[in-house]
Structure 1
């Protein structure tokens, strides 16, 4: 029987929650899987042009991870892949592909893995759980990865909390964005990160939207990555003056996420963000979203 797997985009870190905090964004990678006698991998659409159309495809390799964890052989199938998630923009395109593939492999095998095992497989492959956890579970997720497993708390998004995402028209690889980070941090920066990430998680859990601007301050990664994303420093400093509740580099960038109150008009914020891009010679899109709460969804087709 054919089934589909739909995995959402995600925005990680949210400022100080480096490698541990993220949320789900309703842009989707969709897999259509049909069991058959031979394996076919079929990327569809302009976004996936040039990606591998064979068993070296990242989605198929993710399916194999599920089989390996289950100690089973992956049955052959036709796997069609489509995505709305822009690649290399800091919106978890690889995490959506990874989670979608693991869930698809697990489904093809008859679901031998529970959700916690799926998350652990994905987090260990990715190296951190901040994108894969919200891609799997939806909402806002705080997660850690250690030798004992992957541990998480899922938060329901506060009422009225929305996100505005600025997606510039250039790519930034995660490896390049990680390469600029220092190898050591001062005690003061460590304390700043711990206190602000704790405040951010607490504010999101109880709906204190007024605290987001303060809680999202970060010295661990954003100040080092700012030279790679023209205009980022201006947005982090000034977006709150134009209707944002808080702002952060989305994942490794170059996309930028701003929280907004969904009861308020975002026109002023959009104008400001487009202006920042224009002043820095950039083009791109500015989009408003609610936070996706469904996570990865499997649907069996007749």
Structure 2
């Protein structure tokens, strides 16, 4: 027997996210107080998408849109698709900048489909579906759960735990006009790294958990990385230079996700000037995650 879909529109708000946070490559992420608002309703046929804000005029407006693809994948998981859907996206998360815009779209689509189908999908299954679509769970986990998350993958799929970020964590993003591609950033990574660098990152990643949740004064040391940022620097020289300039001032700065955005986790000196190429914005930590 097919699903019975709700007649009224449903709404989801999804937060931006920053993954890696220095040494926590492909494992940790933080939800940020910058959001996309998505609305969907069942229609008689077809899939349509209207977009305002970030990505308007660039993103597809049919079933190939990532929100719709996530909705259809979730409907299939639940056992039935509606005849059609109409989706409205109000996007504020910059596209292709390392702030989790694709994860926000995927998580939004999963939760829109769940809401239209009556809400019968556990959060663990929503995470599993979202991670399968994204390819890794480090961004979808904080987007779904909020706060600071540690994510990993088992044979059954993605899993994550949520931890509360300490009050002394003050995220500031530096967003350039240029865009980046995760696939390009990943292509810069070597197949193997020195054992000493792996050991260094293991220690810093463990320290990062403590610094983010209990002792933000340790964030500068905790955000040191030898696993990915150095290898990606040549492809993002402006990003690497800004991270270095902030760290010279004692700021716990990292590449946000695959870049090119830079994330500072400790307060930025008031006289610091990143240059005209960068838009700076201080955000809160989003503690709620995606809201339906």
Matched, 1:250 2:265: no
Per-residue deviation, residues 49-100 of structure 1 (Å, max 9, x unmatched): 1221111211100101111222322452221112101111000110000100
Aligned partners of 2:280 and 2:30: how far apart in 1? 18
Q: CA deviation at 1:205?
A: 2.3
Per-residue deviation, residues 215-262 of structure 1 (Å, max 9, x unmatched): 111111100111122243344344244362x1110000000000124x
Per-residue deviation, residues 178-234 of structure 1 (Å, max 9, x unmatched): 11000111211211121111110122222x112111111111110011112224334
The equivalent of 2:76 in structure 1 is: 68
Q: How many residues align?
A: 284
Which SS does the other structure have where 1:52 is aligned?
coil
| 1:247-286 superposed matches below 5 A | 247-261=253-267, 266-269=269-272, 271=273, 273-274=274-275, 283-286=277-280
Aligned partners of 2:290 and 2:191: how far apart in 1? 35
Q: CA deviation at 1:47?
A: 2.3
The equivalent of 1:290 in structure 2 is: 284
Compared with structure 1, are the counterparts of its residues 185 and 240 closer, same or farther at alpha carbon in structure 2 (3 Å cutoff)?
A: closer
Compared with structure 1, are the counterparts of its residues 72 and 266 closer, same or farther at alpha carbon in structure 2 (3 Å cutoff)?
A: farther
Aligned partners of 1:75 and 1:143: how far apart in 2? 35
Contact 2:30 2:149 in 1 (8 A): yes
Aligned partners of 2:221 and 2:58: how far apart in 1? 42
Aligned partners of 1:286 and 1:202: how far apart in 2? 27
Which SS does the other structure have where 1:44 is aligned?
strand
Per-residue deviation, residues 7-51 of structure 1 (Å, max 9, x unmatched): 111110000100110111122222111223223422322522122
Structure with the higher helix share, 1 or 2: 1
| 1:20-31 superposed matches below 5 A | 20-31=27-38
Which SS does the other structure have where 2:183 is aligned?
helix
Runs (5+) with no aligned partner, structure 1: none
The equivalent of 1:230 in structure 2 is: 237
Per-residue deviation, residues 268-289 of structure 1 (Å, max 9, x unmatched): 34x2x23xxx6xxxx1301111
Compared with structure 1, are the counterparts of its residues 268 and 242 closer, same or farther at alpha carbon in structure 2 (3 Å cutoff)?
A: farther
Compared with structure 1, are the counterparts of its residues 170 and 234 closer, same or farther at alpha carbon in structure 2 (3 Å cutoff)?
A: closer
Runs (5+) with no aligned partner, structure 2: 1-7
Which SS does the other structure have where 2:105 is aligned?
helix
Aligned partners of 2:125 and 2:119: how far apart in 1? 11
The equivalent of 1:216 in structure 2 is: 223
Matched, 1:38 2:45: yes
Aligned partners of 1:50 and 1:150: how far apart in 2? 30
Aligned partners of 1:50 and 1:249: how far apart in 2? 25
